[in-house]
């Protein structure tokens, strides 16, 4: 039996007069992502925004439900806004996906009578992901720093890549990986990707900050023919593959030495011998990827 407008106003305590409109423009906006990260509780939030543009809709009459597997579950609103409805769905054990649709029931005022209306959304689907990246514990650091990646479904075959360049990566557990920031140019934002047998996953952007290298001695005063040993030291262990140390000078005839040495993996220093040549004055420049360049003044006397 339908209620008259007077009965409705009395029942809901409405004092304002209703506005009559012809037709009802209603729709659903699905706010539930297609892919959701699997969680230990097995509970996943389904959300939709219900857009009822007909001003003749009785607001307190609106009821929204989500239908999954043929069963309707009542949704609640007001947590985000009055138009957004939510339901926490418990996924049955052994399932990793669900198909569902939304249904809204409400009354509209038509010719002094409240008439029931029902609208349904299209059929939707959401799926659980067993492998994902949840958190990167730091988004910037100097080379050689050990950084943790947390998530789910990691394997010993997974590697972290900096813009396509593989970093030394260790599996701690199925929920955590650790990588060492590789020797790449500093001051650059790199796009991190998790790669492995199960495909690629984006991690986020990471900036390599500049660090320093210590050269001993820090100044050279030599005589022609004199041989001296330079030591290059960093404050971390060199990553896999070692760390190249390029050595250049602006007085090539006065400084005779290798153009490059390498700090071996797991070590924090390397030494190189140099011999003084013809008299002159200039500098030795020490360059390492991701590390601030160091200039060592050198003077060679007869």
Residue range 214-301 forms a domain whose CATH class is mainly beta
Percent of the chain at pLDDT exceeding 70: 91
Helix intervals (H) in the chain: 5-12
Is 3 a residue whose pLDDT tops 60?
no
Domains 5-129 and 214-301 alike in fold: yes
Residue 31: C-alpha distances to residues 34, 84, 294 (Å): 9, 9, 54
Can you tell me the distance from the alpha carbon of 95 to that of 125, in angstroms, rounded to the nearest whole number?
Answer: 13
| C-alpha distances in Å from residue 299, one per residue of 38, 83, 111, 175, 214 | 65, 78, 102, 56, 19
Average pLDDT, the chain: 86
Find where tokens 């720093």 sit.
145
Report yes or no on whether pTM surpasses 0.75. Answer: no
Domain ranges of the chain: 5-129, 132-209, 214-301
Q: Could you tell me what percent of the chain has a pLDDT over 90?
A: 59
pLDDT higher than 80, residue 53: no
At residue 173, the pLDDT reads: 94
pLDDT for 9 beyond 90: no
Q: Any idea which residue has 């539930």 for tokens?
A: 32
Summarize the confidence of residues 72-93 as an average pLDDT. 92
CATH of 5-129, one of 2.60.40.10, 3.90.1300.10, 3.20.20.150, 3.30.70.2860: 2.60.40.10
pLDDT at 153: 87
Q: State the Cα–Cα distance between residues 297 and 288, nearest whole angstrom.
A: 18
Please write the tens of the pLDDT for every residue from 216-273.
999 999 999 999 999 999 988 888 788 899 999 999 999 999 999 999 988 999 999 9
pLDDT at 35: 86
Asked if residue 144 lies in contact with residue 239, where contact means CB atoms within 8 angstroms, the answer is: yes
Provide CATH code, domain 132-209. Answer: 2.60.40.10
């Amino acid at each position: 039996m339908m209620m008259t407008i007077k009965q409705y106003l009395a029942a809901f305590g409405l004092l304002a007069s209703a506005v009559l409109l012809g037709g009802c423009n209603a729709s659903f906006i699905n706010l539930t992502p297609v892919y959701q990260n699997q969680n230990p509780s097995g509970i996943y939030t389904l959300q939709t925004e219900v857009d009822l543009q007909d001003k003749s809709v009785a607001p307190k009459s609106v009821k929204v439900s989500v239908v999954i597997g043929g069963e309707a579950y009542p949704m609640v609103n007001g947590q985000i806004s009055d138009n957004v409805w939510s339901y926490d769905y418990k996924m049955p054990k052994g399932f990793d996906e669900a198909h569902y649709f939304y249904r809204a029931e409400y009354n509209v005022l038509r010719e002094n009578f409240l008439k029931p209306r029902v609208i349904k959304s299209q059929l939707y689907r959401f799926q659980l992901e067993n492998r994902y990246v949840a958190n990167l514990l730091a988004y910037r650091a100097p080379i050689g720093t050990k950084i943790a990646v947390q998530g789910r479904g990691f394997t010993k075959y997974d590697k972290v890549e900096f813009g396509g360049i593989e970093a030394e990566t260790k599996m701690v557990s199925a929920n955590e990986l650790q990588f060492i920031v590789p020797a790449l140019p500093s001051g650059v934002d790199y796009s991190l990707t998790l790669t492995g047998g199960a495909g690629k996953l984006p991690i986020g952007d990471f900036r390599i900050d500049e660090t320093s290298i210590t050269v001993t001695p820090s100044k050279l005063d030599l005589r022609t023919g004199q041989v001296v040993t330079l030591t290059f030291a960093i404050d971390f262990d060199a990553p896999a593959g070692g760390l190249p140390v390029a050595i250049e000078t602006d007085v090539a005839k006065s400084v005779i030495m290798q153009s490059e040495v390498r700090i071996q993996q797991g070590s924090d220093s390397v030494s190189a011998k140099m011999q003084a040549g013809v008299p002159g004055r200039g500098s030795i420049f020490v360059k390492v990827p991701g590390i601030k360049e160091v200039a060592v003044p050198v003077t060679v006397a007869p």
